[in-house]
Amino acid sequence: MRHQELLRNYIDIINEAEEFAQYDLEEKWGKPTKVAPSERGKYKGRSLEDLRKSYRALKASGPHPRGSAEYGRMRELAFAIRAKTGWGGVGESNGL
């Protein structure tokens, strides 16, 4: 009996997820991002392995509170790593 109840709940969850997936979601960014010209190309000459090494070292020394310099640097490194792997069409040709 319990098995059937769990199965019904699972089916209900799947049906709700399918209904939700049919909606056209229009996500928008909170505000436009501006990058200072002096910050562009900051990681251009560094290898992917070098960036990952720096990221892991910062992560190991954490956790870093949101808003701190270390937290900001980790976010920059994470973005640079994504850019160098071709994520989202961002790449070194775009100034990283």
Q: Which domain does 94 fall in, by range?
A: 34-96
For residue 50, tell me if it sits in a domain.
Answer: yes
Dist. CA 87–CA 56, nearest whole Å: 20
What pTM was estimated for this model as a whole? Answer: 0.56
| Domains identified in the chain, total number | 1
Could you give the residue ranges of the DSSP H alpha helices within 22-68?
48-60
Q: Which of 36, 52, 46, 33 is nearest to 92 (CA)?
A: 46
Residue with more model confidence, 31 or 90: 31
For residue 11, tell me if it sits in a domain.
Answer: no
Could you give the residue ranges of the DSSP H alpha helices within 22-93?
48-60, 69-84
For residue 19, tell me if it sits in a domain.
Answer: no
- Residue 15: per-residue pLDDT: 79
For residue 3, tell me if it sits in a domain.
Answer: no
For residue 6, tell me if it sits in a domain.
Answer: no
Displacement of CA 24 from its chain's centroid (Å): 22
For residue 24, tell me if it sits in a domain.
Answer: no
Among the ranges given (18-27, 32-41, 77-86), the one the predictor scored with the smallest mean pLDDT = 18-27
The 10s digit of each residue's pLDDT in 23-72 is 655 666 677 777 788 888 888 888 899 999 999 999 999 788 988 989 98
Contact yes or no for 43/96 (Cβ under 8 A): yes
For residue 17, tell me if it sits in a domain.
Answer: no
For residue 21, tell me if it sits in a domain.
Answer: no
- Residue 42: per-residue pLDDT: 85
